[in-house]
Amino acid sequence: MKIHYRIIYLLISVFFLYTLLFCGFIYYSISNYSFTDFYKRLEIRAATTAKIQLDNPDDASIIMEMRQEYLEKLPHQKEYLYPVETLTAQATDDTLKFSKDFVEKLIEDGAGSYRDGSIFYSGIRYKTIKGKDYIVIVSAENYFFSHHIAYLRSLLVTSLLYALLLIALVSMLISRTLVRPVQNIISEVKKVSSENLHLRLQPPKSKDSIRKLALTFNDLLNRLETTFETQKNFVSNASHELNTPLTTIIGEADYALSKERDSEEYKKSLGNILGEAEKLEQKTKALLLLAQTGFDGKSQKLVRLRSDQLILDVKETVQKLNSKFKVCLDFSLLPENHEKLKIRGNFHLLHLALTNIVVNGCKYSNGEPVYVALGASDTHVLIIIKDSGIGIPKNEMPYIYDPYFRASNTTDFAGYGIGLPLSRNIVLLHEGTIKVSSVENEGTTVKINIPIWNQPL
């Protein structure tokens, strides 16, 4: 069964049960009150009847007028008076119309009541001025019970049916409201594939489980995209960077072996092969170094890191990749409290992200130094990477995070358009922000904010 219908059935069941119990409570309360009130009225009439007919038979006319003035006659009202001394014999003789239990209760307790259909009976045991005991019983039809309660019952049943219809409509509305965000997530997830892993779900504004689900799925996509692009990055670099020296080595070897040559030509060919082999070794070491900072796609364990030490390691790695790269560090903005430099993160991922950005700055700066500044506030660590390279055209800035996108002015530089999107995803995994500003032919500045560690280990 679809969750949409399960929610509807659940809501209808809950609300209908509540409405049914509420209607039953109202019906029971009003019925019970009408019984109690009517029995009390009958008891008052029984006492009045006893005084009129047993204690004051001479003034009966005056009392009757008072009773008619202040006590209206009830439908089918009847009065019965029986001496207690003769009551038992009559009861056993079946000449008394009332139940034996009712009569015994009147004799023992002095008062009692019961109902037979719509006719209610109430009686008292009354002792006259002359000392004789009587049982006085008054019966009447409870008009309120026989008519108003019946109307109330019909009204409640009708209300219950209308309430059921209203509950069904409201349940459908609530169900659609609850399920719609899930359906939106499903439709957005269907758009995600290996070709557009950069797409993300739009979390709802409300802080509920649906928003948490969307954020969790976005985090999953970040990890998947990071894994995918890391592998692509390594494979692309390996296939390109290793293929060039291998082609040169094979070409030189074929040239040297194609015919007999003098020793100088052999030495020259061997020298070229040795040079390309050394380049191949350096590139292999660089690729393996990048691969060691890779991402396995699993939920990463975040630990407390020193951001200044991370920057120093990034500089060392960049210069190992290419000794011509120049990286200048600026630690003048470091806070006095070194605790503000500690961040919660994964060392290998942050190392990879910063290395990609610094390498790009060095590559596009034509030998000019790249400046890396580190600072901190009470809540975030700020890393600024600034170069004076070729920059990015203004009309192409919206596309810089698209995988494999490369600016139109980078045709003379090797690259695959993976580094910046990969770095952005790693920063997002650490709940940070990245902002890129650039002016063509003047340089690019990348600002990264990462929350500081504010929890004890």
For the stretch 196-230, pLDDT in tens is: 777 887 777 777 777 888 888 888 887 777 677 66
Residues 419, 230: contact at Cβ < 8 Å?
no
Q: For the purposes of burial, counting CB atoms within 10 Å of the CB of 367, is it exposed (0-12), middle (13-18) or buried (19 or more)?
A: exposed
The residue among 281, 279, 282, 252 whose CA lies nearest residue 268 is 252
Q: Tell me, what amino acid is at 62?
A: I
Q: Map out the domains of the chain with their CATH numbers.
A: 3-149 (3.30.450), 191-299 (1.10.287), 300-457 (3.30.565.10)
Task: For residue 194, report the phi and psi dihedrals to the nearest 5 degrees.
Answer: -65, -20
pLDDT digit string, tens, across residues 287-299: 564 455 444 545 4
d(CA 110, CA 133): 10
pTM of this structure:
0.44
Residues 6+ apart with CB under 8 A from 397: 436, 438
Q: Tell me, what amino acid is at 86?
A: T
Residues 434, 447: contact at Cβ < 8 Å?
yes
* Euclidean distance between the first and the last CA atom of the chain, given in angstroms as a whole number: 46
Say if residue 312's pLDDT is above 90: yes
Residues 387, 441: contact at Cβ < 8 Å?
no
Region 121-141: mean pLDDT is 83
Neighbouring CB atoms inside 10 A of 433's CB total 14
Query: Hey, what are 205's tokens?
Result: 């504004």
Neighbouring CB atoms inside 10 A of 388's CB total 17
Residues 425, 233: contact at Cβ < 8 Å?
no
The residues that bridge with 303 in the sheet, in sequence order, are 345
H helix intervals, 116-208? 143, 150-190
More confident residue, 357 or 182: 357
Helices and strands (H, E) in the chain, number of each type: 11, 11
More confident residue, 213 or 308: 308
The whole-chain average pLDDT of the chain stands at 79
